[in-house]
Amino acid sequence: MKRTLAAWLPNWPLGRLAIKQPELAGAPVALYSPSRRGQVITACCAGARAAGVRLDMPLAEATVLLEAAARSAGRSVGDSLRESPPFSERTAHGVAGDAAQRSSQGNQSQTRRSGGSRWSS
């Protein structure tokens, strides 16, 4: 008899990011990716949810909420936002977008790439 297991791990991208960037521990972190409605939040930690960030929220709205939370914690919003491309086996090697660089350079998209493909944490 063939058996199949399906697992839903909504915080997997956040866990993977926390391992790669331990300095984010305790920061309200949200991941975003492009959609038909523009860039939207695809994952967020409990700290970001406490700041009011929700899944599928527009990035601009989440940025305002995270900036307020980051200011009260003495961090920059660049510590809180990371790009997270859609899940795909084909894209298993990664990127993490740096929102602080993007906002400081007049909204020019800056993305650090590792490997040759894009991943979602």
- How do residues 11-35 score in pLDDT, each as one tens digit? 888 888 888 888 877 778 888 888 8
Domain span at residue 59? 12-113
Give the per-residue pLDDT at 117.
Answer: 33
Question: Mean pLDDT, to the nearest integer, of 34-53?
Answer: 90
Is 77 among the domain residues?
Answer: yes
Could you give the number of structural domains in the chain?
A: 1
Instruction: Specify the pTM.
Output: 0.58
Count other C-beta atoms under 10 Å from residue 121's C-beta: 23
Is 61 among the domain residues?
Answer: yes
Question: Residues 6 or more apart from 105 whose CB is under 8 A from it?
Answer: none
Amino acid type, 106: G
Bigger pLDDT: 77 or 111? 77
Is 119 among the domain residues?
Answer: no
Q: Is the pLDDT of residue 47 over 80?
A: yes
pLDDT digits (tens, 9 = 90+) for 48-75: 899 999 999 999 999 888 888 777 767 6
Is 96 among the domain residues?
Answer: yes
Is 118 among the domain residues?
Answer: no
Cα separation, 27 vs 45, in Å, equals 9
71 phi-psi bin (left φ>0, alpha ψ -120 to 50, beta other)? alpha
CATH (domain of 22): 3.40.1170.60
Question: Mean pLDDT, to the nearest integer, of 73-101?
Answer: 44
